[in-house]
Amino acid sequence: MPEPAITVLDGYLALSRAAADVAAGILAAIPRARVVVATGRTPMGLYRELAARASRGVLDASGITVYQLDEYVGIPTDDWRSLLGWAVRSFVEPLGIPLGSVIPVPADGDPAACAAYDREVERSGGYDLAILGIGTNGHVGFNEPPSDASAPTRRVALSSASRRSNAAYWGGTPHVPREAVTIGIAGLLRSRTILLVASGKSKRGIVRRAVLGPVTPEVPASCLQAAPDLRVLVDRAAWDGSVPT
């Protein structure tokens, strides 16, 4: 298995800038790149940094295709908590990417539509870049434990850990949707480069298990160790619990 490249940055700003350097390098080399875009708190600094570069004219992402990573089931796309809406607001619009270049996941999780989605990605050669965060339970996208390297794009039940960690957006855990649709780990492994970002002490431990521990469905992110080019960028709080000086 290829060795993951792990970079430990001093804090969130440095992490966001370093991650933007990686992403911008790939987007410059592949102007029509196919890019999987996570939402969540962690990549927002990275997206802001990319948007700042685009507005300074040093990054042109207008030709890329954006693939939504995951979505809650049963949420209208105009609900502010829709992950598609979040990706559009934080990544697509600020980078000047046409809305027509956004490929949503099959939001109702229809098995035939999910299988067709995976076949199409496979047929067109996979993704060029996947920008991912990691859940405190080791999920990537909404591939909850247990999920292994063969997991397809599918409808999933959200774990209680994931529902708890998203409670703030929904006014309490009971209001968080119970199901989601996610690109599967098998699809993510078809990405030429995976950029995994983690920040803060709540991720301490799980990131190490994901990148250095045994590959196990109990830590779905560990399956990414098989990716051809896995770049892991973490801040010190997420790596060893130390805080920047």
Q: Identify the residue among 35, 51, 69, 121 touching ligand F6R (CB under 6 A).
A: 69
Residue of this chain nearest to ligand F6R (CB atom): 133
One-character DSSP codes across 145-160: SS--TT--SEEEEPPH
Any contact of residue 205 with ligand F6R (CB under 6 A)?
no
Exactly one of 18, 35, 70, 195 binds ligand F6R (CB under 6 A); that residue is 70
Q: Number of residues in contact with ligand F6R, rule: CB under 6 A? A: 15
Judged by CB under 6 A, the stretch of 36-44, 53-61, 112-120, 235-243 that binds ligand F6R is 36-44
Report the residue from 140, 176, 186, 234 that binds ligand F6R according to the rule CB under 6 A: 140
* Residue 235 makes contact with ligand F6R by CB under 6 A: no
**Per rule CB under 6 A, is residue 49 in the interface with ligand F6R?**
no
Q: How far is the CB of 63 from ligand F6R (least distance, A)?
A: 23
User: CA 133, CA 127: separation in Å to the nearest integer?
Assistant: 17
Count Cβ atoms below 10 Å from residue 145 Cβ, excluding itself.
18
**Given the complex with ligand F6R, which of 26 and 83 has the nearer CB atom?**
83
CA neighbours closer than 13 Å in the CB half-sphere of residue 240: 8
How many of the other CB atoms lie within 10 Å of CB of 135? Answer: 24
**Of these residues, 71, 139, 143, 235, which one is catalytic?**
139
Query: Contact with ligand F6R (CB under 6 A): which of 106, 141, 184, 220?
Result: 141
By the rule CB under 6 A, 42 interacts with ligand F6R: yes
Of the candidates 83, 196, 207, 227, which one interacts with ligand F6R according to CB under 6 A?
83
What order do you get walking across the sheet with 179-182 strand by strand?
70-72, 179-182, 154-157
Out of 18, 19, 39, 121, the residue judged to bind ligand F6R by CB under 6 A = 39
Q: Is the dihedral of CA 84, 86, 87, 89 positive or negative?
A: positive
Site string for ligand F6R, 116-135 (x = CB under 6 A): -----------------xxx
Catalytic residue of the set 70, 71, 128, 235: 70
Least distance CB 57 / ligand F6R (angstroms):
29
Is 137 assigned a catalytic role?
yes
Q: Which residues are catalytic?
A: 70, 137, 139, 144
Which residue ranges make up the site for ligand F6R (CB under 6 A)? 38-42, 69-70, 83, 133-135, 139-142
